[in-house]
Structure 1
Amino acid sequence: MTTPEQPQYADRSFRSTPGIIGGLLLIGFAAWIGGDALVTGEGRVPWIAAAGLLLVVPLIVAFTFRPVVYAGADRMRVRNPFRTVELPWAAVADVRAGYSSEVVTVDGTVYQLWSVPVSLRERKRAARRRDRTEAAPGPAAGPGTGQAAASAGADRAVADLRELAERGASRPTAQGTARIRWAYEIIVPALAGLVLLLVLLAV
Protein backbone atom coordinates (compact mmCIF):
# COMPACT_ATOMS: atom_id res chain seq x y z
CA MET A 1 0.00 0.00 0.00
CA THR A 2 1.48 3.33 -1.03
CA THR A 3 1.09 6.45 1.03
CA PRO A 4 -0.33 9.49 -0.76
CA GLU A 5 2.18 12.20 -1.53
CA GLN A 6 1.85 15.45 0.36
CA PRO A 7 0.71 18.37 -1.79
CA GLN A 8 3.43 20.69 -3.08
CA TYR A 9 3.06 24.44 -2.83
CA ALA A 10 4.89 27.25 -4.57
CA ASP A 11 7.41 29.16 -2.50
CA ARG A 12 6.10 32.15 -0.60
CA SER A 13 8.20 35.29 -0.67
CA PHE A 14 8.58 37.91 2.04
CA ARG A 15 10.15 41.23 1.05
CA SER A 16 9.95 44.88 2.08
CA THR A 17 7.94 47.09 -0.28
CA PRO A 18 9.21 50.34 1.35
CA GLY A 19 12.76 49.05 0.85
CA ILE A 20 12.17 48.52 -2.87
CA ILE A 21 10.63 51.98 -3.22
CA GLY A 22 13.57 53.49 -1.36
CA GLY A 23 15.96 51.60 -3.61
CA LEU A 24 14.30 52.97 -6.73
CA LEU A 25 14.59 56.51 -5.40
CA LEU A 26 18.25 56.06 -4.44
CA ILE A 27 19.11 54.50 -7.82
CA GLY A 28 17.41 57.42 -9.57
CA PHE A 29 19.29 59.96 -7.43
CA ALA A 30 22.65 58.20 -8.00
CA ALA A 31 22.01 58.00 -11.75
CA TRP A 32 21.12 61.70 -11.86
CA ILE A 33 24.18 62.88 -9.91
CA GLY A 34 26.60 60.35 -11.38
CA GLY A 35 25.31 60.68 -14.92
CA ASP A 36 25.63 64.45 -14.81
CA ALA A 37 29.24 64.14 -13.59
CA LEU A 38 30.04 61.59 -16.31
CA VAL A 39 28.65 63.80 -19.07
CA THR A 40 29.66 67.29 -17.96
CA GLY A 41 32.64 66.62 -15.68
CA GLU A 42 36.19 67.50 -16.64
CA GLY A 43 39.55 65.94 -15.87
CA ARG A 44 39.27 63.11 -13.35
CA VAL A 45 35.67 63.93 -12.42
CA PRO A 46 34.07 61.42 -14.86
CA TRP A 47 36.40 58.68 -13.62
CA ILE A 48 35.62 59.49 -9.99
CA ALA A 49 31.90 59.49 -10.81
CA ALA A 50 32.22 56.10 -12.54
CA ALA A 51 34.09 54.65 -9.56
CA GLY A 52 31.50 56.10 -7.18
CA LEU A 53 28.65 54.55 -9.16
CA LEU A 54 30.49 51.21 -9.26
CA LEU A 55 30.68 51.35 -5.47
CA VAL A 56 27.28 52.83 -4.62
CA VAL A 57 24.92 51.07 -7.02
CA PRO A 58 25.74 47.49 -5.85
CA LEU A 59 25.34 48.62 -2.23
CA ILE A 60 21.94 50.15 -2.97
CA VAL A 61 20.87 46.94 -4.70
CA ALA A 62 22.23 44.87 -1.80
CA PHE A 63 20.31 46.69 0.91
CA THR A 64 17.04 47.42 -0.92
CA PHE A 65 16.26 45.07 -3.84
CA ARG A 66 18.20 41.97 -2.85
CA PRO A 67 16.77 41.08 0.62
CA VAL A 68 13.97 38.50 0.42
CA VAL A 69 12.91 35.36 2.26
CA TYR A 70 11.59 32.43 0.23
CA ALA A 71 9.67 29.76 2.14
CA GLY A 72 8.58 26.46 0.64
CA ALA A 73 7.46 23.06 1.81
CA ASP A 74 10.98 21.85 2.67
CA ARG A 75 13.11 24.87 3.45
CA MET A 76 13.48 28.61 3.72
CA ARG A 77 16.01 30.64 1.75
CA VAL A 78 17.14 33.88 3.38
CA ARG A 79 18.68 36.31 0.92
CA ASN A 80 20.39 39.11 2.83
CA PRO A 81 22.57 41.94 1.42
CA PHE A 82 25.82 39.98 1.13
CA ARG A 83 24.92 36.30 1.49
CA THR A 84 22.17 33.75 0.99
CA VAL A 85 21.39 31.20 3.70
CA GLU A 86 19.40 28.08 2.82
CA LEU A 87 17.84 26.38 5.84
CA PRO A 88 15.91 23.10 5.74
CA TRP A 89 12.97 23.34 8.14
CA ALA A 90 14.48 20.64 10.37
CA ALA A 91 17.43 22.97 11.00
CA VAL A 92 15.18 25.82 12.18
CA ALA A 93 14.64 26.07 15.93
CA ASP A 94 12.66 29.33 15.97
CA VAL A 95 11.66 32.37 13.96
CA ARG A 96 11.18 35.49 16.07
CA ALA A 97 10.74 39.24 15.88
CA GLY A 98 11.99 41.52 18.64
CA TYR A 99 13.71 44.70 17.55
CA SER A 100 14.60 42.81 14.38
CA SER A 101 13.37 39.65 12.65
CA GLU A 102 15.63 36.62 12.84
CA VAL A 103 15.76 32.87 12.44
CA VAL A 104 17.52 30.67 15.00
CA THR A 105 18.96 27.31 13.98
CA VAL A 106 19.07 24.20 16.15
CA ASP A 107 22.77 24.80 16.83
CA GLY A 108 22.07 28.32 18.11
CA THR A 109 23.21 30.33 15.07
CA VAL A 110 21.13 33.45 14.44
CA TYR A 111 20.50 34.91 10.98
CA GLN A 112 18.82 38.27 10.48
CA LEU A 113 15.84 38.54 8.12
CA TRP A 114 16.63 41.82 6.35
CA SER A 115 13.50 41.62 4.19
CA VAL A 116 11.18 41.53 7.24
CA PRO A 117 11.97 44.80 9.05
CA VAL A 118 10.36 45.43 12.42
CA SER A 119 8.55 48.75 12.84
CA LEU A 120 7.89 49.58 16.50
CA ARG A 121 5.50 52.34 15.42
CA GLU A 122 3.48 49.89 13.30
CA ARG A 123 3.49 47.42 16.18
CA LYS A 124 2.08 50.07 18.56
CA ARG A 125 -0.63 50.99 16.04
CA ALA A 126 -1.52 47.31 15.64
CA ALA A 127 -1.74 46.90 19.42
CA ARG A 128 -4.12 49.87 19.67
CA ARG A 129 -6.31 48.46 16.88
CA ARG A 130 -6.34 45.08 18.60
CA ASP A 131 -7.34 46.66 21.92
CA ARG A 132 -10.19 48.57 20.27
CA THR A 133 -11.40 45.42 18.49
CA GLU A 134 -11.40 43.35 21.69
CA ALA A 135 -13.15 46.10 23.62
CA ALA A 136 -15.88 46.58 21.01
CA PRO A 137 -19.38 45.37 22.04
CA GLY A 138 -21.19 42.70 20.11
CA PRO A 139 -21.02 38.95 19.55
CA ALA A 140 -17.85 39.23 17.39
CA ALA A 141 -15.85 40.94 20.13
CA GLY A 142 -13.65 39.06 22.52
CA PRO A 143 -10.07 38.02 23.15
CA GLY A 144 -8.26 37.09 19.97
CA THR A 145 -10.84 38.64 17.63
CA GLY A 146 -9.09 40.20 14.68
CA GLN A 147 -5.73 39.14 16.07
CA ALA A 148 -4.16 38.43 12.68
CA ALA A 149 -5.61 41.52 11.01
CA ALA A 150 -4.44 43.74 13.89
CA SER A 151 -0.84 42.50 13.90
CA ALA A 152 2.17 44.34 12.55
CA GLY A 153 3.42 43.17 9.16
CA ALA A 154 6.68 41.76 10.54
CA ASP A 155 4.84 39.85 13.27
CA ARG A 156 2.45 38.33 10.71
CA ALA A 157 5.35 37.29 8.47
CA VAL A 158 7.24 35.75 11.40
CA ALA A 159 4.13 33.88 12.54
CA ASP A 160 3.67 32.47 9.02
CA LEU A 161 7.31 31.38 8.84
CA ARG A 162 7.14 29.79 12.28
CA GLU A 163 4.04 27.84 11.24
CA LEU A 164 5.73 26.65 8.05
CA ALA A 165 8.79 25.56 10.06
CA GLU A 166 6.73 23.60 12.55
CA ARG A 167 4.67 21.97 9.82
CA GLY A 168 7.61 21.07 7.60
CA ALA A 169 10.30 20.03 10.10
CA SER A 170 9.27 16.36 10.10
CA ARG A 171 9.29 15.98 6.31
CA PRO A 172 12.05 13.61 5.09
CA THR A 173 12.95 16.13 2.39
CA ALA A 174 13.29 18.95 4.94
CA GLN A 175 16.30 17.50 6.75
CA GLY A 176 19.85 18.82 6.63
CA THR A 177 21.97 21.75 7.75
CA ALA A 178 22.41 25.36 6.71
CA ARG A 179 24.12 26.20 3.43
CA ILE A 180 25.63 29.65 2.88
CA ARG A 181 26.54 31.37 -0.39
CA TRP A 182 28.23 34.76 -0.47
CA ALA A 183 26.91 37.35 -2.94
CA TYR A 184 30.08 37.87 -4.97
CA GLU A 185 28.03 39.59 -7.67
CA ILE A 186 27.53 42.39 -5.11
CA ILE A 187 30.82 42.22 -3.21
CA VAL A 188 33.25 42.17 -6.16
CA PRO A 189 31.98 45.27 -8.05
CA ALA A 190 31.56 47.23 -4.80
CA LEU A 191 35.14 46.44 -3.75
CA ALA A 192 36.41 47.28 -7.23
CA GLY A 193 34.62 50.62 -7.10
CA LEU A 194 36.03 51.34 -3.65
CA VAL A 195 39.60 50.52 -4.68
CA LEU A 196 39.32 52.57 -7.88
CA LEU A 197 37.82 55.51 -5.98
CA LEU A 198 40.60 55.46 -3.37
CA VAL A 199 43.28 55.32 -6.06
CA LEU A 200 41.75 58.23 -7.97
CA LEU A 201 41.44 60.34 -4.82
CA ALA A 202 45.00 59.52 -3.75
CA VAL A 203 46.78 60.49 -6.98
Structure 2
Amino acid sequence: MKQPKPWVKSALELGPVILFFAVFMLFRDDTVSVMGRDYGAFVFATLIFVPVLVASTLVLWRLTGKLAPMQIATLVLVLVFGGLSVWLNDPRFFKMKPTIIYLLFAAILAVALVSRRNWLGAVLSEALPMTDAGWRKLTFRMMAMFLALAVANELVWRLMSESSWVWFKTFGLPLLLFVFLMANAGLYREHALEKPQEEPQDGE
Protein backbone atom coordinates (compact mmCIF):
# COMPACT_ATOMS: atom_id res chain seq x y z
CA MET A 1 0.00 0.00 0.00
CA LYS A 2 1.24 3.49 -0.89
CA GLN A 3 2.58 5.40 2.09
CA PRO A 4 1.15 8.87 2.75
CA LYS A 5 3.39 11.90 2.48
CA PRO A 6 5.26 12.68 5.74
CA TRP A 7 3.36 15.94 6.28
CA VAL A 8 0.02 14.14 5.95
CA LYS A 9 1.04 11.55 8.55
CA SER A 10 2.33 14.25 10.91
CA ALA A 11 -0.86 16.28 10.50
CA LEU A 12 -3.02 13.26 11.32
CA GLU A 13 -0.95 12.38 14.39
CA LEU A 14 -0.41 15.89 15.79
CA GLY A 15 -3.54 17.62 14.55
CA PRO A 16 -5.91 16.34 17.29
CA VAL A 17 -3.47 17.36 20.05
CA ILE A 18 -3.01 20.85 18.62
CA LEU A 19 -6.78 21.16 18.23
CA PHE A 20 -7.29 20.19 21.89
CA PHE A 21 -4.79 22.86 22.93
CA ALA A 22 -6.41 25.51 20.71
CA VAL A 23 -9.95 24.78 21.92
CA PHE A 24 -8.88 24.83 25.56
CA MET A 25 -7.02 28.12 25.20
CA LEU A 26 -9.93 29.68 23.32
CA PHE A 27 -12.54 28.76 25.96
CA ARG A 28 -10.41 28.53 29.11
CA ASP A 29 -12.26 31.38 30.83
CA ASP A 30 -15.72 30.32 29.65
CA THR A 31 -18.40 27.75 30.28
CA VAL A 32 -19.69 26.04 27.14
CA SER A 33 -23.22 24.63 26.94
CA VAL A 34 -23.70 21.55 24.75
CA MET A 35 -27.17 20.01 24.47
CA GLY A 36 -28.23 21.69 27.69
CA ARG A 37 -25.17 20.61 29.68
CA ASP A 38 -22.48 23.03 30.84
CA TYR A 39 -18.82 22.15 30.40
CA GLY A 40 -15.63 23.85 31.43
CA ALA A 41 -12.99 24.49 28.78
CA PHE A 42 -11.01 21.34 29.57
CA VAL A 43 -13.91 18.89 29.28
CA PHE A 44 -15.26 20.72 26.22
CA ALA A 45 -11.83 20.42 24.55
CA THR A 46 -11.86 16.71 25.45
CA LEU A 47 -15.32 16.38 23.89
CA ILE A 48 -13.90 17.77 20.63
CA PHE A 49 -10.61 15.86 20.86
CA VAL A 50 -11.95 12.31 21.24
CA PRO A 51 -13.95 12.04 17.97
CA VAL A 52 -11.27 13.95 16.06
CA LEU A 53 -8.61 11.50 17.27
CA VAL A 54 -10.82 8.55 16.29
CA ALA A 55 -11.34 10.04 12.82
CA SER A 56 -7.65 10.83 12.28
CA THR A 57 -6.61 7.35 13.43
CA LEU A 58 -9.09 5.71 11.06
CA VAL A 59 -7.83 7.87 8.18
CA LEU A 60 -4.23 6.96 9.04
CA TRP A 61 -5.19 3.28 9.12
CA ARG A 62 -6.92 3.65 5.74
CA LEU A 63 -3.88 5.33 4.21
CA THR A 64 -1.18 3.05 5.65
CA GLY A 65 -3.08 -0.21 6.11
CA LYS A 66 -1.72 -0.65 9.64
CA LEU A 67 -1.55 0.89 13.10
CA ALA A 68 1.28 0.60 15.61
CA PRO A 69 0.46 -1.08 18.94
CA MET A 70 1.16 2.26 20.67
CA GLN A 71 -1.43 3.98 18.47
CA ILE A 72 -4.06 1.34 19.22
CA ALA A 73 -3.40 1.46 22.98
CA THR A 74 -3.53 5.25 22.96
CA LEU A 75 -6.83 5.26 21.05
CA VAL A 76 -8.45 2.78 23.45
CA LEU A 77 -7.34 4.71 26.53
CA VAL A 78 -8.45 8.02 25.03
CA LEU A 79 -11.89 6.54 24.36
CA VAL A 80 -12.12 5.17 27.90
CA PHE A 81 -10.71 8.05 29.94
CA GLY A 82 -11.83 10.83 27.61
CA GLY A 83 -15.31 9.32 27.55
CA LEU A 84 -15.39 9.16 31.33
CA SER A 85 -14.31 12.79 31.63
CA VAL A 86 -17.09 13.92 29.28
CA TRP A 87 -19.74 11.60 30.71
CA LEU A 88 -19.01 12.52 34.33
CA ASN A 89 -18.00 16.10 33.47
CA ASP A 90 -14.78 15.51 35.40
CA PRO A 91 -11.40 16.42 33.85
CA ARG A 92 -9.41 14.23 36.21
CA PHE A 93 -9.94 11.06 34.20
CA PHE A 94 -8.45 12.54 31.03
CA LYS A 95 -5.52 13.98 32.98
CA MET A 96 -4.78 10.49 34.32
CA LYS A 97 -4.67 9.01 30.82
CA PRO A 98 -0.97 9.76 30.10
CA THR A 99 -0.02 8.20 33.43
CA ILE A 100 -1.83 4.97 32.52
CA ILE A 101 -0.30 4.94 29.04
CA TYR A 102 3.25 5.44 30.33
CA LEU A 103 2.84 2.83 33.06
CA LEU A 104 1.49 0.38 30.47
CA PHE A 105 4.47 0.95 28.17
CA ALA A 106 6.90 0.66 31.10
CA ALA A 107 5.28 -2.64 32.14
CA ILE A 108 5.52 -4.03 28.59
CA LEU A 109 9.21 -3.12 28.39
CA ALA A 110 9.83 -4.61 31.86
CA VAL A 111 8.30 -7.91 30.71
CA ALA A 112 10.48 -7.79 27.60
CA LEU A 113 13.59 -7.36 29.75
CA VAL A 114 12.68 -10.15 32.17
CA SER A 115 11.78 -12.56 29.38
CA ARG A 116 14.77 -11.43 27.28
CA ARG A 117 12.51 -10.60 24.34
CA ASN A 118 13.53 -7.88 21.91
CA TRP A 119 10.04 -6.41 21.41
CA LEU A 120 11.38 -2.89 20.98
CA GLY A 121 13.74 -4.04 18.26
CA ALA A 122 10.95 -5.89 16.51
CA VAL A 123 9.10 -2.59 16.13
CA LEU A 124 12.00 -0.21 15.44
CA SER A 125 14.79 -2.34 13.95
CA GLU A 126 14.17 -1.19 10.36
CA ALA A 127 14.57 2.47 11.31
CA LEU A 128 17.29 1.87 13.92
CA PRO A 129 19.35 -1.31 13.31
CA MET A 130 21.30 -2.20 16.47
CA THR A 131 22.82 -5.16 18.24
CA ASP A 132 20.84 -7.13 20.83
CA ALA A 133 22.93 -5.56 23.61
CA GLY A 134 22.01 -2.13 22.31
CA TRP A 135 18.32 -2.95 22.28
CA ARG A 136 18.49 -4.26 25.86
CA LYS A 137 20.10 -1.03 27.05
CA LEU A 138 17.59 1.10 25.16
CA THR A 139 14.69 -0.99 26.47
CA PHE A 140 15.83 -0.44 30.07
CA ARG A 141 16.32 3.29 29.52
CA MET A 142 12.92 3.67 27.86
CA MET A 143 11.27 1.76 30.70
CA ALA A 144 12.86 4.17 33.20
CA MET A 145 11.84 7.14 31.05
CA PHE A 146 8.18 6.06 30.89
CA LEU A 147 8.12 5.60 34.66
CA ALA A 148 9.58 9.09 35.10
CA LEU A 149 7.02 10.58 32.71
CA ALA A 150 4.19 8.88 34.59
CA VAL A 151 5.41 10.42 37.86
CA ALA A 152 5.85 13.82 36.18
CA ASN A 153 2.33 13.76 34.78
CA GLU A 154 0.86 12.91 38.18
CA LEU A 155 2.77 15.74 39.85
CA VAL A 156 1.77 18.32 37.24
CA TRP A 157 -1.96 17.58 37.11
CA ARG A 158 -2.32 17.16 40.86
CA LEU A 159 -0.20 20.12 41.99
CA MET A 160 -0.43 22.68 39.19
CA SER A 161 -3.17 24.56 37.34
CA GLU A 162 -5.23 23.14 34.51
CA SER A 163 -3.53 25.50 32.03
CA SER A 164 -0.12 24.30 33.22
CA TRP A 165 -1.10 20.69 32.57
CA VAL A 166 -2.34 21.50 29.07
CA TRP A 167 0.95 23.24 28.22
CA PHE A 168 2.90 20.36 29.75
CA LYS A 169 0.91 17.71 27.87
CA THR A 170 0.98 19.52 24.52
CA PHE A 171 4.58 20.71 24.48
CA GLY A 172 6.44 19.49 27.58
CA LEU A 173 6.02 15.76 27.14
CA PRO A 174 6.95 15.72 23.42
CA LEU A 175 10.00 17.86 24.24
CA LEU A 176 11.08 15.45 26.97
CA LEU A 177 10.70 12.51 24.56
CA PHE A 178 12.78 14.34 21.96
CA VAL A 179 15.51 15.14 24.50
CA PHE A 180 15.56 11.47 25.56
CA LEU A 181 15.99 10.26 21.98
CA MET A 182 18.78 12.76 21.32
CA ALA A 183 20.50 11.91 24.60
CA ASN A 184 20.82 8.29 23.45
CA ALA A 185 22.61 9.17 20.20
CA GLY A 186 25.82 7.70 21.60
CA LEU A 187 24.11 4.37 22.27
CA TYR A 188 22.79 4.26 18.70
CA ARG A 189 26.29 4.80 17.32
CA GLU A 190 27.99 2.39 19.72
CA HIS A 191 25.66 -0.51 18.94
CA ALA A 192 24.78 0.23 15.33
CA LEU A 193 24.90 -2.73 12.96
CA GLU A 194 27.28 -2.40 10.07
CA LYS A 195 25.59 -2.36 6.72
CA PRO A 196 26.60 -5.33 4.57
CA GLN A 197 28.82 -4.28 1.70
CA GLU A 198 27.45 -4.88 -1.76
CA GLU A 199 29.10 -7.51 -3.90
CA PRO A 200 31.14 -6.00 -6.73
CA GLN A 201 29.56 -6.36 -10.15
CA ASP A 202 31.33 -8.47 -12.77
CA GLY A 203 33.71 -6.42 -14.82
CA GLU A 204 34.26 -3.79 -12.16
TM-score by length of 1: 0.29
TM-score by length of 2: 0.29
Structure number with the higher helix fraction is 2
Structure possessing the higher radius of gyration over alpha carbons: 1
Structure number with the higher strand fraction is 1
